[in-house]
Structure 1
Amino acid sequence: MSASNEIDDFASLLRRHRLAAGLSQEELAEKAGLSSDAVAALERGRRRAPRPLTVRLLATALNLSDADFAEFTESLRRSPAGHAPQVQGPPLPPDTLIGRETELAELTSLLGHGGVRLVTLTGLGGVGKTRLAVAVANEVRGQFEAGACWVPLAARPDGPEVIDAVAAAVGLRPASDAAEVDALAEHIGSRQLLVVLDNCEHVIETCAWLCTVLLQRCPRLTFVATSRELLRAPGEVVRQVQPLSVPPSRAPVDEIRDADAVRMFLARAAAHGVHPRDDRLRQVSRVCRSVQGIPLALELAAARVNVLTIEQIADELDTSSRILSGGSRTAPLRQQTIDAALDWSYQLLGAEEREFFEAVSTFSGGWTLPAAVAVFCAEQTDACHERVLDLTGRLIDKSLILVDRDAAEARYSMFSVIRQYADRRLDDGGRRTVIEQRHLRHFVELAERAERTLGTDQQAATLDHLDIELDNLRVALGRAISRELGSESMRLAAALWRYFYLRGHYSEGRDWLESALRIARAADTVAPAALAGAARGAGYLAFLQCEYDVAAERLEEALGRYRRLDDPAGAALTLRHLGSIARERADYDAAHELHLESLHLYQQLGDKAGIAWARHFLGFVSWLRMDLGGARDYSAAALGYFQQAGDGEGITWSQLNLGVVALYDGDLDGAERLLHQSLGRAQRLGYREGVGWSLNQLGVVARRQGRLERAIHLLDESLAEHQELGDKWRSASVLEALASVAQEHHNTAYAAFLLGAASAVRDTIGAPVPLCERPDTEGTTTAVRDALGERAFAHAWGAGQATPLHAVADGYPPDALSTLDTPW
């Protein structure tokens, strides 16, 4: 009984009449057609404004007289429910918002002037959706007459409790039955109100339904929702909350300091009393890139500064996200470790979604839809393709998979912390071996298909495609070799060696091939043809690094296998490679004979591509030995075929050969034109050897034109390219060309230094100066020796011989050699 009312309030009257009728709450609810929760809420006063229909149903069930019914309805009018309730406003931000200026401005404009009534902030766990929503709500609350209302849903386990939470936040205390939505709509009415639903993902269907209903009935109501999954409600505008910006790997200190992720890490580290100096900012940048700017991960990493150095944190994060724990004690459990944050998302997945989530963690560097089908499905049927498409969409909606739509084919990926988590779950499910075997099979087949298109007009597109898949290919190679799968490791390494050659990854390609060969020889189960191909590839990559003895050994092994297999195509290609070794050792007669033998085999096979390549190499040997007429004829014939076939690598080399012929024939303008063409094509193809060679010969042309500064620039670029590739033979020639420029620049001591460095390289690899280059090199040596005198020349020459090639390539002699001229 209310002490201030002459009539009992509605709750008291309802209870008195129910007891007088001898009914329990459940029995009354059943007679009235209501829920027992609704009756209980009315009796406790939790619900103070029942609909008129609800009152009539109760009166009928209680068999009230007219007088009792009048008293019943009068009590509603006099019940203390008429005051304007206070809404539950957004929390005050605990700290300064770092970054997000653009997002905050956009959302403020969207809610204030964009006519948008439902905005969902979505993104992975820990990305900062709630923190951004707090900032937005506090920023715009003044624009809403009834204010901004904050509804935390993380602790609400089911749908009905969501309605209770919204009702409580807007100042209404309804019971948990469907009729309460009517009460909510009536309560909000036409008030201009912003309601923020925070953490909707586990009650997504209820939130979507509630927003839909209330937006239809409350014309000035606006919702902002934070969720790891889209609501998919009518009128929803989605904004993906991205991680904070991270600096590039080689960014200067000022750029590192300005990156939002770095600013957050430094702020959180300062809270622990740690203030990294500028010389530690590169390590901070490593940490930020490792966690990809995810705010929760940054906070958890910064929490470790009290026990680890920043270098140690970065090193740990290179291999695992396990140290990302130990968050604030007052934070929800799911935000105290990165795994807990991801557990929250994982538990919301269905069984098949979990299996797919775990399966795609086997990819590195992203994947395509066909690749996902190959890994997830036992059989690649149309039905399974549809399942994978649907599962991919669901996990994108749940912020567990990222999608890149910039290219013609969509590509999918995961943030590294999510991928590591999913990978650990793959262990839990016991499906790792099956999934990784499917991954390996898919990329073996992909590499073999790609190999067949190299040397055609599809080469550029193929190389670009392999670039994109390189991380996956490396992972597949690593798994095949670590498990000593002889056939798979051999097939994959052999299919990729030419890609590694064209992209200049000589050491990597050779290492994979040598590992595969070791496994195959031990297993003795690999097909002889595959062994021959791998030995040939390993030999050619060793040749490119000027390890001629190892290269010859591998290539002779391959040649023997091809001959035993009666495989003339394989033998012809191997003879070509052996001819290249002889060419660089200046044994031009042997090189010419080997290339002729290769040509004859290709002619017998009717292999037009092989014939063109044999002619190219005969042209190459010809200009090295100063047979310019033969070089011109062979190279022009090869160019005609390469242009017809669309072989970019072949066209590059033929233009280069013809450009060098013009150079030594004295046609410097023609040489420059052809070499610019070869350089441009090589750059477009990403063919690094072609780039290095073209720059080298253009530098020689520039020196002969008297354009010494241009020659220095071109030759320096060429030296850097060849030195990085590991091509010592060509590096030595570039050093000798630079020495000629230095001598013409009157930097005679530096010229002697460069000549000494080149001589040391040639001694190491056992390759003399090519015949066509000897006049320039000998003339430069004589001029420098005469200018310096024997003693000073020997001093500078010796310094060059003692300096490592990588140091010479950096463009300076050692400080100890004080008599040297200052290099350019």
Structure 2
Amino acid sequence: MSSDGSRRGSDDVQGAGFGGLLRRHRRDAGLSQEGLAELAGLSVDAIAALERGRRRAPRAHTLRLLADALRLNSAERTQLTATARNDSESPQPVLRRPPAPPNELIGRTVELTAAKRLLGQRITRLLTLTGPGGIGKTRLTMAVASELSEDFPDGVCWVPLASLTDAEGVAPAVAASIGLHPLDTTRLAEEIAEQIGQRTLLLAFDNCSHVVSNVGQVCAALLESCPNLSILASSRELLRVPGENVYVVPPLSLPPDEDQAELSAAVRLFVDRASARGYDPTGQLEQVARVVRRLEGMPLAIELAAARTNVMTIEELAGELETSFGILAGGDRTASPRQQSMRGAIEWSHDLLTPAERDVFAQLSVFVGGWTLSAAAMVMSGEDAPGPVARAEALDLTGRLVDKSLIRVTRHGGVARYYMLAVIREFAADRLQATASVDEAVSRHAHFYIGLAEQAERELRGASQEEWLERLQSELDNLRAAMAWALQTRSVSEALRLSGALWLFCYLRGHYAEGSLWLERSLALSPSTEDATPALAKANLGAGMLAFLQCEYDVATTRLETALTQYKELKDTAGTALVLQRLGGVARERGDYRTAEDLHCQSYDLFENLGDQSGMSWAHNQLGFVAWLRGDLDVGARRCGRARDSFRKLGDGEGLAWSLISLGAIAQYKGELVDAEALLQESLALSQRLGYREGVAWSLNQLGIVERRRGLTERAVHLLDESLAEHRDLGDRWRSASVLEELAAVAQQRERSEYAAFLLGAADGVREVIQAPVPQVEKADYLATRRAVEESLDRQAFRAAWSAGRAAPLAAVADGYPVQHPAPDPDRSRYL
């Protein structure tokens, strides 16, 4: 070869770089890539990557292996090494940076800190931020990626995938973001891995949901080949690759109460975005709190709602959202269609579902406030008792929807519950309405909860009472939906079964008015001429009991006497005994202690004939209650003590609470205040744990009397006020009147005679309406208070304050609102 030719060849080699020089030496040696790889102890892929320039800066050891295999002389070795060094010092491709945020990130301090810790400290190499559309995944991903720039010396690279229409475009998108533009795309994933190599780099994949399978494949391959690579991904669906760590992005925090609305991230976001639209809502935070609670802290929904403040008041906005989320549209023009409305955001996820997933998604919208796996299995399968196959299918499909962020999961007390955010449920319900199976799904839902209520009814008198009360409370919205279905479809049997099964729960958890309404409407569906049935008798019993608890004594008596007749027709001794016990309660509150005692004795005899220990214990307790109310404290103590011991053995929380209340009241009327306080504190703690509101109200009432007797009037006022508010909310006017009289006694002790007269008048007005006298055991204190008040005031002042109290609504008195009466300062706090 001529000297000119040799020079041209050298120039060509230098222009081609290390890869070209290596290729020339290999060819001069007469070797294929496979042959060189075998002689050097390297892989064929490594040789190909070096020759094509996909892999830069080979290590010194690799250079020696290549030079030895090619049998290069000293000058050729030096040239090869220098060329490799020149290539390694050439500029790296420019990475695509995370986009600059358009506005302030609000309320994500906890999430940002957690994500930064997981990635920055290399706790995980793959972190997926997941959640439903509109939860703020992209915005959080941008913030995390930006703040981690110092933790990754070789940079943070942003890989946007939202605009992809073809899943095969994932790898090219990654290549473009890292500055790689290969001519050959057949081995693109390998080329990307070669480009990244040993670099300490963070790849941030945004909007993976619609290409999630391909994203998962690319991520798995890169993580395996690139040991210093970390990946952050935002996706509505999990990637499901080895090593994935999932962070479920929660909604923004909601206001803890009305006085702390400004501390809520959801409120702050609404205020910020509304202010950006030219409207400052800081003076209406109570209404803002109402809006963000309805939107459950969903950032996109809050931003879309805030945008509507340019044409609506916040009150109008809140009212509109109570009925529909349809106004949540009109987002930024530059946003993708799925970010311009909540419907678009949810529809995007819905379109990615399989047909089976779409069907289940729609069916699950029949649930209100969440559901369990058992409930889902029945609604999906239509089986009364879904077997293992049906449950497994329900679990699989539910799990898929959880992974796609359309369903959320909570875990409490060893039970997993599933629910949809309200905006998602509305979309799913619209889909269900468009199908022919809507009536069937709603019917299945109702029948599941009828069965659940009947099962719970059997457990509410035993050791599992607390567990079943909590279970029914967690399902209250579903029970209401089932009740609405039964009434709307005029399904007489189902309405009676459900309302009859729930009355005891309604009593224990204080849903007196709602339970009464259900029972009365269910009974109204039943023809009056229909023969007695267990369901009818139970419904009349429940209606009578709940009317009695609200001091509607005439209604209660009518319903209970009807139930008594029906139970006797049915020859149901237990039902008969229970009704007699409830009729005894009516007589007791009306002050007819002899009749009450007679009815409770009859009830006891029937329960004894049945060998019903629970019924006998309740009869003992009721007889003890009558005894201490009429002032026979010793008899009351014996009976209630026996009941307490029995209730402890039976595990009946309600019964135990009541017997403790009675024993505590007896002790305080005997002047044994230390014992009284201990008993009442025990009943209060038990009632609070059970959520037994009547027990809470009574315990507070009696504890207030204990503190008054000790002269601790400030503490007494606090306890009695709480008791009054609770009794008023329950609708128990009989007990409310007694608490008002106790508050009057405290007011008089504080020398607030005019206000004491006002309270006594309020109590008298209540008693006149319900036709119930002051209980015998309370009369001494009542008369002492009234006498002291009358002696402290002239007749005119007393009558004026008394009359003002009689005219004041109980709600106003119980809530402590200012009321009109002759005192110079009508604010009750001045008197207490």
Query: TM-score normalized by structure 1?
Result: 0.86
- The worse-fitting range, judged by mean Cα deviation, of 103-112 and 160-169 is 103-112
Residue matched to 2:69: none
Secondary structure in 1 matching 2:526? helix
Q: Unaligned stretches of 5+ in structure 2?
A: 1-10, 17-50, 56-83, 85-89
Matched, 1:468 2:474: yes
- Match 1:387 to one of 393, 397, 406: 393
* Aligned pairs for 1:376-415 within 5 A: 376-379=380-383, 380-415=386-421
- Match 2:248 to one of 229, 237, 240: 240
The change in CA–CA distance for 1:564 and 1:295 in structure 2 (over 3 A counts) is same
2: CA distance between counterparts of 1:809 and 1:456?
34
The change in CA–CA distance for 1:541 and 1:163 in structure 2 (over 3 A counts) is same
The change in CA–CA distance for 1:570 and 1:177 in structure 2 (over 3 A counts) is same
Matched, 1:488 2:494: yes
2: CA distance between counterparts of 1:354 and 1:114?
38
How far the C-alpha of 1:496 sits from its partner, in A, is 0.8
Residue matched to 1:172: 180
Instruction: Give 1:156's aligned amino acid.
Output: L
C-alpha offsets along residues 83-114 of structure 1, whole Å, 9 cap, x if unaligned?
A: 85433332222222223233334434443432
- Match 2:146 to one of 138, 156, 177: 138
Q: How many residues align?
A: 749
- Match 2:765 to one of 752, 757, 760: 760
- Match 2:698 to one of 693, 698, 713: 693
Instruction: Give 1:414's aligned amino acid.
Output: M
Matched, 1:283 2:283: no
1: CA distance between counterparts of 2:388 and 2:207?
36
Do the aligned residues in 1 keep the contact of 2:761 with 2:801 (CA within 8 Å)? yes
Residue matched to 1:353: 357
Do the aligned residues in 2 keep the contact of 1:164 with 1:174 (CA within 8 Å)? no
* Aligned pairs for 1:183-262 within 5 A: 183-248=191-256, 250-252=257-259, 255-262=260-267
- The worse-fitting range, judged by mean Cα deviation, of 812-821 and 144-153 is 812-821
- Match 1:454 to one of 460, 464, 475: 460
Do the aligned residues in 2 keep the contact of 1:520 with 1:526 (CA within 8 Å)? no
Matched, 1:118 2:122: no
Residue matched to 1:74: none
* Aligned pairs for 1:663-678 within 5 A: 663-678=668-683
1: CA distance between counterparts of 2:241 and 2:553?
68
The change in CA–CA distance for 1:637 and 1:86 in structure 2 (over 3 A counts) is closer
1: CA distance between counterparts of 2:112 and 2:363?
36
2: CA distance between counterparts of 1:595 and 1:406?
41
Identity %: 51
Residue matched to 1:88: 96
The change in CA–CA distance for 1:368 and 1:178 in structure 2 (over 3 A counts) is farther
The change in CA–CA distance for 1:86 and 1:700 in structure 2 (over 3 A counts) is closer
Residue matched to 1:420: 426
The change in CA–CA distance for 1:714 and 1:96 in structure 2 (over 3 A counts) is closer
- The worse-fitting range, judged by mean Cα deviation, of 114-123 and 412-421 is 114-123
Residue matched to 1:559: 564
Do the aligned residues in 2 keep the contact of 1:642 with 1:648 (CA within 8 Å)? yes
- The worse-fitting range, judged by mean Cα deviation, of 557-566 and 661-670 is 661-670
Q: Unaligned stretches of 5+ in structure 1?
A: 11-47, 53-76
2: CA distance between counterparts of 1:776 and 1:184?
89
2: CA distance between counterparts of 1:131 and 1:542?
54
How far the C-alpha of 1:695 sits from its partner, in A, is 2.3
Residue matched to 2:164: 156
Matched, 1:510 2:516: yes
- Match 2:450 to one of 440, 444, 449: 444
Matched, 1:741 2:746: yes
Do the aligned residues in 2 keep the contact of 1:172 with 1:184 (CA within 8 Å)? yes
Secondary structure in 2 matching 1:411? strand
Instruction: Give 1:94's aligned amino acid.
Output: P
Secondary structure in 1 matching 2:757? helix
2: CA distance between counterparts of 1:293 and 1:811?
33
1: CA distance between counterparts of 2:817 and 2:433?
53
How far the C-alpha of 1:544 sits from its partner, in A, is 0.8
The change in CA–CA distance for 1:799 and 1:206 in structure 2 (over 3 A counts) is same
The change in CA–CA distance for 1:713 and 1:99 in structure 2 (over 3 A counts) is closer
* Aligned pairs for 1:538-617 within 5 A: 538-617=543-622
Instruction: Give 1:512's aligned amino acid.
Output: W
Instruction: Give 1:251's aligned amino acid.
Output: E
How far the C-alpha of 1:511 sits from its partner, in A, is 0.9
Do the aligned residues in 2 keep the contact of 1:144 with 1:193 (CA within 8 Å)? yes
Instruction: Give 1:403's aligned amino acid.
Output: V
How far the C-alpha of 1:119 sits from its partner, in A, is 2.2
The change in CA–CA distance for 1:335 and 1:784 in structure 2 (over 3 A counts) is same
* Aligned pairs for 1:780-791 within 5 A: 780-791=785-796
* Aligned pairs for 1:10-21 within 5 A: none
* Aligned pairs for 1:611-626 within 5 A: 611-626=616-631
Secondary structure in 2 matching 1:126? coil
How far the C-alpha of 1:666 sits from its partner, in A, is 4.1
The change in CA–CA distance for 1:220 and 1:454 in structure 2 (over 3 A counts) is closer
Instruction: Give 1:320's aligned amino acid.
Output: S
C-alpha offsets along residues 21-57 of structure 1, whole Å, 9 cap, x if unaligned?
A: xxxxxxxxxxxxxxxxxxxxxxxxxxx96999xxxxx
Do the aligned residues in 2 keep the contact of 1:160 with 1:176 (CA within 8 Å)? no
- The worse-fitting range, judged by mean Cα deviation, of 499-508 and 638-647 is 638-647
How far the C-alpha of 1:531 sits from its partner, in A, is 0.9
Instruction: Give 2:119's aligned amino acid.
Output: L
Residue matched to 1:21: none
How far the C-alpha of 1:304 sits from its partner, in A, is 1.0
* Aligned pairs for 1:90-109 within 5 A: 90-109=98-117
- Match 1:778 to one of 773, 783, 794: 783
Do the aligned residues in 2 keep the contact of 1:576 with 1:598 (CA within 8 Å)? yes
Do the aligned residues in 2 keep the contact of 1:559 with 1:575 (CA within 8 Å)? yes
1: CA distance between counterparts of 2:759 and 2:561?
35
2: CA distance between counterparts of 1:823 and 1:180?
83
Do the aligned residues in 2 keep the contact of 1:486 with 1:525 (CA within 8 Å)? no
1: CA distance between counterparts of 2:343 and 2:508?
42
How far the C-alpha of 1:579 sits from its partner, in A, is 1.4
The change in CA–CA distance for 1:644 and 1:193 in structure 2 (over 3 A counts) is closer
Do the aligned residues in 1 keep the contact of 2:757 with 2:801 (CA within 8 Å)? yes
Instruction: Give 1:99's aligned amino acid.
Output: G
Instruction: Give 1:122's aligned amino acid.
Output: T
1: CA distance between counterparts of 2:539 and 2:752?
47
2: CA distance between counterparts of 1:778 and 1:144?
82
Do the aligned residues in 2 keep the contact of 1:490 with 1:517 (CA within 8 Å)? yes
2: CA distance between counterparts of 1:383 and 1:644?
40
How far the C-alpha of 1:367 sits from its partner, in A, is 1.4
CA RMSD of aligned residues (A): 2.6
How far the C-alpha of 1:639 sits from its partner, in A, is 2.6
How far the C-alpha of 1:439 sits from its partner, in A, is 1.2
How far the C-alpha of 1:324 sits from its partner, in A, is 0.8
How far the C-alpha of 1:408 sits from its partner, in A, is 0.9
* Aligned pairs for 1:263-274 within 5 A: 263-274=268-279
* Aligned pairs for 1:636-675 within 5 A: 636-675=641-680
How far the C-alpha of 1:216 sits from its partner, in A, is 2.3
- Match 2:340 to one of 336, 341, 346: 336
Residue matched to 2:72: none
- Match 2:190 to one of 182, 197, 218: 182
Secondary structure in 1 matching 2:148? helix
Instruction: Give 2:258's aligned amino acid.
Output: A
How far the C-alpha of 1:420 sits from its partner, in A, is 1.3
Query: TM-score normalized by structure 2?
Result: 0.85
Do the aligned residues in 2 keep the contact of 1:163 with 1:176 (CA within 8 Å)? no
